[in-house]
Amino acid sequence: MFLSKLKIPDELEKATFAFDKDGIVFFISGFEQFFANSAKDLMHKNYLNIFATEYTKRIKEEEKKLTNKNKTTHLTIQLNNDTKTKRILTLSILLDKTGKHIGYIGELELDKEEQKSCIEKAESSYKEFLDNIPIGIYRTTIDGKLIFANKQLLKIFNYPNKSDFKDVTKTFVDKNYRKQKLNQWIEQGEYSDEFQIKTSDNKIVYVRDAGHLVKENGKPAYFDGALEDITDKKILEKRLNELNTSKNKFFSILSHDLKGAFGQFIGATDLILDEINNFDKEQIENIVQLLNEQAERSYKLLENLLDWSKSQEGILKFQPEPINLSVLIKEIIEYYNQTAKKKSINLYSELKDTLIVYADKYMLSTVLRNLISNALKFTPEGGSVIVSACELIDKENYGNKVLEISVKDTGVGIEKERIEHLFNMEGNYSTKGTGGELGTGLGLILCKEFIEKHGGKIWVESELGKGSTFKFTIP
């Protein structure tokens, strides 16, 4: 048994003493485990003081027999401070260098029944200790058969008891991982690896496994090790990597967009300074219009930047409430009417006047403004932008209804390779619209953040030259 290999407690070890022919102790070792007093307190006293009174007469008789027979004798006795535990007393003749009898040597140890009882208590104690460790402890054969498992190991693999868990090789997500590592583990004699395992309920868990090889008769026999569930740590590492990537991409987008905005702004002001005396009224109006557009775009970039940073830090609180969606969209359409008229775009809503949605008004408004603004940006003159909505059955939560809102345009469409990056930092840069308009780059990323806070999804259906339809759901 695995636990029986552990160190036996001190009470199972032997105690030795030597006394002269008069019974006076002159050597003693190991008695501290049997008595509260020290070995020094037992020195130079009669050895019979060690034993319970009812056994002293028998011990003296055996001592006399030894003197005559020059042999060793064994007696079952009890110590004077213990009326329950039985011990074996072994007495042997003690001779000097000339062979003269000068005394006796005594040795004490538990009898077999008491040893068995002590071993069982020790094993129970160690098992309880191992079960309380918050790391999985195990012993397996070389071919992966489970010999010992503490409670935490069973918990990691989601097995109620050890009898249900017999073979660790079947738990590896990568079926070839253990086969590929086995020779290395045996050769090095120890190992420390991280990999994925599958629990009894088919859940995938990341673990760190560290252990060493145990040999018997010089041959590999077992692996003893400790297994730790590091799934939460892996998720945190992944999240930190994603945040780090997002941060880098964010600065790339920000610098790209700001550079474009300020580049045109500086170019326009330089032109004014150089040619101010040569411009007529119409030319000045066109340049001022350009400056105004760049200022609005920079302001929108800062708005989106502020919202995104608040969302990331958790400052922007999610506060849903009943909202008349029709009224909200009409207000946004009215805001963008002037922009639509400039490009002769037909911007309108197909929503019913009484459509109510439970959502965060500020976030939903931000999403709709970004989607409508983008649709106008990429729709050529004479085109159309339509906002609509319909109720659907949620496929993932059957029986629940979700509201699907669409912003459809007759614009230029989007390349397939760009679609997968529209809602994340990876490869997301603003592009010029059909009228040379520039976007902020952060708009769709912000839309995704806000829709996911509602428990919804956002996606796009698009084909080059045939326009795009951005859709999102609100549960």
> pTM for this structure?
0.46
* pLDDT of the residue at 10: 46
Q: Looking at residue 200, what is its pLDDT? A: 92
Q: Rounded distance, CA 87 to CA 287, Å?
A: 108
The letter for the amino acid at 164 is: D
Rounded Cα distance, 60 and 47, in Å: 11
Q: Which residues of the chain have pLDDT under 70?
A: 1-13, 32-39, 68-70, 82-83, 114-115, 117-119, 122, 125-126, 246-261, 264, 297, 300-301, 304-305, 307-316, 393-399, 425-441
Find the distance separating the first CA and the last CA of the chain, reported in whole Å.
57
Residue 458 is predicted with a pLDDT of 92
Opening angle at CA 441, ends 423 and 437, nearest 5: 130
- Residue 46: half-sphere exposure toward Cβ, Cα within 13 Å: 8
Give the H or E element holding residue 270. helix 231-275
The tokens for 185 are 């583990």
Rounded alpha-carbon distances, angstroms, from residue 346 to 174, 277, 318, 372, 374:
56, 40, 33, 12, 14
> How far is 245 from 299, CA to CA, in rounded Å?
25
pLDDT at 438: 45
* Residue among 470, 471, 473 nearest 452 (CA): 473
Q: Are strands 136-141 and 146-149 parallel, antiparallel or unpaired?
A: antiparallel
**The dihedral formed by the CA atoms of 333, 360, 408 and 465, expressed in degrees to the nearest 10:** 110
CB count within 10 Å of CB 25 equals: 22
Beta strands 219-229 and 204-216 are antiparallel
Q: Which two tokens stand for residue 440?
A: 């902020």
Among 115, 144, 150, residue whose Cα is nearest residue 130: 150
Structure tokens at 443: 């708009």
Alpha carbon 437 to its chain centroid, in Å, reads 45
User: What whole-number distance in Å separates Cα of residue 116 and Cα of residue 121?
Assistant: 9
pLDDT of residue 445: 83
Distance CA(344)–CA(339), nearest Å, equals: 9
